[in-house]
Amino acid sequence: MRTLYTQVDAIEALPYAVRTANAAVNGTVIDTARGGNNYREVLFIVKTETVTDGTVAITVEESAQSGSGFAAAARVVGSLPTVTADDDNAVFLVSVLPTLRYVRLVATTAGATSGAGISAVAVLGNGNSAPHS
């Protein structure tokens, strides 16, 4: 039976933390060839908790190698969110159709003292086969 559960895989993309450092934080490198499945879509689900001050700009990068060469993803679907103080307990969806094997989120914090609690999960889909049966 084809269900959402049988057709997607999920990986932690950005571990939860209160982002107070005014800097960029690279998320977990996601291998779209995970399990030999050649996923052609990645949906990042970004979740905020308390956002006190500052902004967190969310971007997506991709690379042919897991350890270097990351640059802005070429095929982002929709717009990339910037989390602000009005975004307590919000959920943002960021979709990418990767052109390279590895993708990651980048959270860039600016103007923060107390910061923002934020995390993300990557949902991989449109693979060669069902990851769960």
**Which regions in the chain score pLDDT beneath 50?**
none
| pLDDT of the residue at 132 | 67
| pLDDT of the residue at 26 | 98
Structural domain boundaries in the chain: 10-125
User: Tens of pLDDT along 98-127?
Assistant: 999 999 999 999 999 999 999 999 999 998
Find the largest Cα–Cα distance for the chain. Answer: 50
| pLDDT of the residue at 69 | 98
Q: Please give the helix or strand (H or E) that residue 90 lies within, else none.
A: none
d(CA 52, CA 50): 6
| pLDDT of the residue at 105 | 98
| pLDDT of the residue at 3 | 87
Q: Does domain 10-125 have CATH number 3.90.1150.10?
A: no
| pLDDT of the residue at 133 | 56
DSSP label at residue 114: S
Rg for the chain, CA atoms, rounded? 15
- Residue 107 has a CB neighbour count (10 Å cut-off) of 22
